[in-house]
Structure 1
Amino acid sequence: MTNKEKFLNLLGLATRAGKLISGDETTLTSVRKEKVSLVIVATDASEGTIKKFTDKCHYYETPMMITCTKAELSHAIGKSRAIIGVCDNGFSRKMRELMKEE
């Protein structure tokens, strides 16, 4: 099993544990409130979306990764999304480790 597969499985697990939020506005609001420990943006999200989240995450010092396609992320969490916020430090730490090694 590749690290990407492990990462996507972990996303599914975090979804079932209720530790994810998804969608542009919901995630943006949570970043502003500093309730998110990691923001995941799909590689095929629009340039405007990627820039908006890069700027916000940089400003609020929230870790962010641009990884996987919308289809992969959506399949992992069971909803069609390009933006996901992880609200749990343990999950976000493990996800960052997995994608660093990729």
Structure 2
Amino acid sequence: MSKLHQLLGLAMRAGKVVSGEERVLSAIRSGVAFLVLISDDAALNARKKISDKSKHYGVPLMTAGSRSELGRALGKAERVVVAVTDPGFAKAIRKRCE
């Protein structure tokens, strides 16, 4: 498991992650999302919807492996999109991905 997925798992255990398309869109709209991660095998419609919302609200968007890797990092079933709701975790994850 990569360092990115380890940090994402830690953020999940701390309660600083939301997953699922509608919950992530809600987090972006309400201003609590500091980073959005989307799987590289997400559907084009979902990718466009998340990308457009993220750009509009100024939330960084990154790809983070497959949906099964994202789900495994969170200790859940497959996940297509997740939002990090803590600025410290978001900064650490972005730093690891650069």
TM, length-normalised to structure 2 = 0.95
Q: Does 1:83 align with 2:81?
A: yes
Root mean square deviation of aligned Cα: 0.9
Tell me, which stretches of 5 or more residues in structure 2 are unaligned?
Answer: none
Structure 1: runs of 5+ lacking an equivalent:
none
Q: Which residue of the other structure, out of 52, 55, 58, is the alignment partner of 2:55?
A: 58
1:13 equivalent in structure 2: 10
Match of 1:34 among 31, 37, 53: 31
Which of 39, 43, 48 aligns to 1:46? It is: 43
- How far the C-alpha of 1:67 sits from its partner, in A, is 2.1
Q: Which residue of 2 is the match for residue 24 of structure 1?
A: 21
Q: 2: CA distance between counterparts of 1:19 and 1:67?
A: 17
SS in 1 for 2:27: helix
Aligned length: 97
1: CA distance between counterparts of 2:31 and 2:61? 13
Deviating above 2 A after TM superposition, structure 1's stretches of 4 or more consecutive aligned residues are none
Identity %: 38
Structure 2 CA distance for aligned equivalents of residues 71 and 81 of structure 1: 7
What's the secondary structure of 1:75's corresponding residue? helix
**How far, CA to CA, are the matches of 2:65 and 2:48 in structure 1?**
17
Deviation string 1:18-40 (CA, Å, 9 cap, x unpaired) is 00000000000110111100000
Deviations 1:58-81 (A, max 9, x none): 000111101211010000001221
- TM norm structure 1: 0.92
